[in-house]
Amino acid sequence: MMPFKGFGLVLLTFLVSVLALGAYCETPYEKFLRQHYDNPKSNVGKQYCDVMMKRRGLDKPACKEVNTFIHNTKNNIKSVCTDTGGKDYGNGLRIALRPFTVTTCKLKGGSTRPPCKYSDNKSSRYIVIACNENKEPVHFDESIIVTV
């Protein structure tokens, strides 16, 4: 195989740089939205969690074990970061003042290697999140489940 020369090497270097930078250009708020926001709930068929986890890149490099999608508006989710929609829950977390409809996806089986298979559970619960200085959600606490 002939090594890259001239323009080909420059192009390859450029493409690798763009791809590497792209992974770091996602803000914490954008990452939160990619991982947890789905409103209205996507109509993807019976395997909602299998499809959504793959679509959102939560199956690489390994299958994420638990992930929750929130089915409400961005503004309602952001309001949890304010006194009108949420209250302090300790440890830098805030809890919603009203319940949200969510779908929780849990990995089935013992392996975290793709292909990933998930079970899903739709429920109503008070979401618990961490917010940044701009009052935007940046972390969903999967371990705290406060149901209606």
Contact 13, 46 (CB under 8 A): no
Would you please indicate which residues are annotated as catalytic (active-site) residues?
36, 139
Separation between Cα atoms, residue 145 and residue 148, nearest integer Å: 10
For the chain, the straight-line distance linking the first and the last C-alpha, in angstroms and rounded, comes to 63
Alpha-carbon distance values, 85 to 25, 72, 97 (Å): 29, 13, 6
Give me the torsion for CA of 126, 132, 137, 143, rounded to 10°. Answer: -50
At residue 90, what are phi and psi to the nearest 5 degrees?
A: 90, 160
